[in-house]
Chain A
Amino acid sequence: MLAIRGLRKSFGGRTVLDGFDLSVEPGEFVALLGPNGSGKSTVLRCVVGLETPDGGEVEVGGNAAMVFQKIHLVGRRNALDNVCSGALGRLPLHRSFFFPQDVREEAMGCLERVGLVDRALDRCARLSGGQQQRVAIARALCQRANVILADEPVSALDPQAAVQVMELLKALAGDGMAVVAVLHQPELARTYADRVVEMKATVAA
């Protein structure tokens, strides 16, 4: 479902990734661990195209979505609109000024999956951190992703909300998605992930 081979990336002469490999099967939940600056975020950003790799191959069997530590919803819009924006990639411009009814219906389904139907019309800025992160996951679902890349999805959340989000990611892997989550808590990784991948700090730091 996701195959990364020999990924290389450097920023201004500093090598961050030097031949990174990872492959994830459908239904598999992989936790990515490693010290600050070891290039975990860079791997994920290369996969979704927010960074251009210097070399190597990235193969995604379908559609990759990303979830961020800082969540990155549009705080002034309601949860439903934020989830609908996941569908933009398949909407032509002239249909994306106002989200069409079928997209809104699909988005409601995604909100139901993350347990937030009743908050659909609340502004995201008014939701708690944990709820916001679940809206962001619903946005990934509305993107019809089969690969979810989560960059420290629970680092800003309290333990209870963190467990809720981890359970949700685990359940999505159970539905057959490939899930990669960057984590800083080894216990969470051991509890929820099928496999733990350690990244080493680049030597020439």
Chain B
Amino acid sequence: MSVTASPKLAVPRRRWPAPVVWVVVAVFLVVHVLAWQATEFSPAALIAGWEGMADFLAESLPPDFSVLGKSLEAAVITLYIGLLGTTFSIPFALALALLASRATTSAAWAQQAARAVLSFLRSVPDVVFALIFVTAVGLGPFAGVLALVFHNTGVMGKLWAEAMDESDRGPRDAVKVTGASGPQIALHAVLPTVMPSLAGLLLYRLDVNVRSSLVLGLAGAGGIGFLINQSIKLFRFDEMVTHILVVLLLVVVVDQASGFVRKRLGA
């Protein structure tokens, strides 16, 4: 037995994509061709230059483990930069998030102002902050910490404000009915509710910031990134491989630790 449409039913005709779809596809292709040219994208150059990479690999193996002690010490500095960059941004991120969230602030101008500050801090990359602070405090880990504090305040403040926005309205209303003021509502309804999410986001940012502090090290903020930079400049690729293995270890340890705690928090 087969089902056929009765002759009276007109089968809708297959529709071609609208002209706007063709235009979008064309623009998309043109932009990619332009980008291909501008970035000098060239598989041929990669194939032609494989020898350079082979030399590099040959020189880098076996790794020179005599620098392992120095490397581990520097990795700890990198970890410390990420740690201080995260913890010192907590008060600023919290204050701005409380101002930016509509769960805790009713004045529209205050929300807008806090959001503007957060998006400014977020949109300036930490490396740029680092270069700015280097002019004030010189090359070194301190400039890296300052850079992370500024950038992370922007990112974490926004994530925290969003978590507060999504918190249940019910307990907020219930506490408001008791005559509580805005800050009291934040303190006794919003914050207790969102605390696990805030802690989870904090650990996630710690994880990201430790990796960022590596890049800041390449830009002169000390730590293991700085050692990698030096090894490259001195063509000591065997030392560099040791540093990279230590970085791998550091990243995996921090990632696992923060993942473990986040799972326990249920966030």
A interface with B by C-beta (< 8 Å): 48-50, 63-66, 68, 70-77, 81, 85-91, 93, 96-97, 136, 139, 143
Contacts and interface: CB of A to CB of B under 8 A. Distances in A.
A68 B195 CA distance: 24
Nearest to B175: A85
A88 B170 contact: no
Given A65-B177, A89-B179, A90-B179, A77 B192 contact: yes
A74 B180 contact: no
Given A74-B193, A76-B192, A88-B180, A66 B175 contact: no
A88 B183 contact: no
7 tightest Cβ-Cβ pairs between the two chains A and B: A89-B179, A72-B170, A88-B180, A72-B174, A48-B177, A88-B184, A85-B188
Task: Give the interface size bracket for B toward A.
Answer: 20 to 34
Given A72-B170, A74-B189, A93 B177 contact: no
Contacts of B193: 74-76
B145 to A, nearest CB: 29
Contacts of B177: 48-50, 64-66, 143
Contact of B171 (A66, A74, A86, A87): A74
Given A65-B177, A88-B180, 18 more contacts: A49-B176, A68-B174, A72-B174, A73-B171, A73-B174, A75-B193, A76-B192, A85-B180, A88-B178, A88-B179, A88-B184, A89-B180, A91-B184, A93-B181, A93-B183, A93-B184, A96-B188, A143-B179
B173 interface: yes
B230 to A, nearest CB: 49
B187 interface: yes
A141 to B, nearest CB: 11
A74 B195 CA distance: 12
A87 B170 CA distance: 18
B174 A88 contact: no
A77 B196 CA distance: 12
Nearest to B196: A76
Contacts of A97: 187
B188 A74 contact: yes
Contacts of B178: 65, 85-89, 139, 143
B187 to A, nearest CB: 7
Nearest to A47: B177
Contacts of B189: 74, 85
A124 B46 CA distance: 63
Interface string B150-178: 00000000000000000010110111111
28 contacts: A48-B177, A50-B176, A64-B177, A65-B177, A66-B177, A68-B173, A70-B170, A72-B168, A72-B173, A73-B171, A73-B174, A74-B188, A74-B192, A74-B193, A76-B196, A77-B192, A85-B189, A86-B178, A87-B178, A88-B175, A88-B179, A88-B180, A88-B184, A89-B180, A90-B179, A97-B187, A139-B178, A143-B179
> Which of A66, A81, A88, A139 counts the most B-chain CB atoms under 10 A from its CB?
A88
B143 to A, nearest CB: 35
A49 B175 CA distance: 12
Contacts of A85: 175, 178, 180, 188-189
Contact of B173 (A50, A64, A77, A91): A50
Contacts of B175: 85, 88
A77 B180 CA distance: 17
